[in-house]
Amino acid sequence: MAVSNPTPTEYIQHHLQNLTFGLHPEHGWSMAHSAEQAAEMGFWAIHLDTMGWSIALGVLFLFVFRKAAKAASTGVPGGLQNFVELMVEFVDNSVKETFHGKSKLIAPLSLTIFCWIFLMNLMDLVPVDVLPMLAQKIAVLFGADPAHVYFKVVPTTDVNATLGMSLSVFALMIFYAIRSKGLSGFIGELTLHPFNTPNNKLVQALLIPVNFLLEVVTLLARPISLALRLFGNMYAGELIFILIALLGLWQLPLHFPWAVFHILIVVLQAFIFMMLTIVYMSLAIEEH
């Protein structure tokens, strides 16, 4: 797709490259024409396709749920109202069963996470060539070289997006932990657990570095594992779709069964991210 007759390697690399805009050391603020240029931009780069689809799908989620809320009635509910009520009840029950505290934020946060990630994952079921080819045709109208137009449509296959979401959850974890236990209580959990000898202050002091190392590793592993689990599963699924697409017309017998199976992954990964978020928030407010 990057050239008239791409090799399998070029085809895969083109599909796995994000549309990147950033500050290049030599070219200034510009679009990246290759993976190497994108890497050279470093921190000062943004994946326009990831941001665009994430925002668009977030707006779609808000629009659908707002429309259902405005049209809600006490009479016979319509299909959209039934669907939204089912989603809200499902998430609400999950929060009640898992979150052992009181917060007006956790249920809306969990609903947003589940629906937003589900929509982003669902983009993986769109045939891999359709939207990138459309983006190339639009770029040609503006005089751009189609070989340099990259377009990924599944935001959760970009580790930057999954890390962004997991770090937001991590920040809320720290906030709730400090609000619930106080700064001294939060620091105490990091330094006095899991090894605690309250009857021997000297041994307790000597174990503080060991406790701190173990607890910090455990704490930092939560957002990292949260992000990499979602990214890894969706990236692998997208890669399989791309490999199937390399078969040309022969992809049709394979594409459909893999898409049906992948629907389970789409839903499951959104559910796992939501449930782990609830669990981590619950752990943040609980005493050891």
Active site residues: 225, 229, 233
| Residue 28 dihedral angles phi and psi, to the nearest 5° | 70, -155
Spatial distance between the Cα atoms of 56 and 52, rounded to a whole number of angstroms: 6
Say how many residues make up the chain: 288
Nearest to 165 by CA among 207, 226, 104, 92: 226
SS3 46: strand
Q: What is the dihedral of CA 208, 214, 215, 218, to 10 degrees?
A: 180
SS3 56: helix
Contacts of 115 (CB under 8 A, 6+ apart): 61, 65, 87, 270
Confirm if 88 and 100 have CB atoms less than 8 A apart: no
Question: Alpha helices of the chain — where are they, by DSSP H?
Answer: 8-15, 35-41, 48-71, 79-98, 106-122, 130-141, 159-192, 201-245, 252-285
Contacts of 125 (CB under 8 A, 6+ apart): 259, 262, 263, 266
Mark 21-41 as b/e (b = at least 16 C-beta within 10 Å).
bbebeeeeeebbbeeebbebb
> What is the Cα gyration radius of the chain?
23
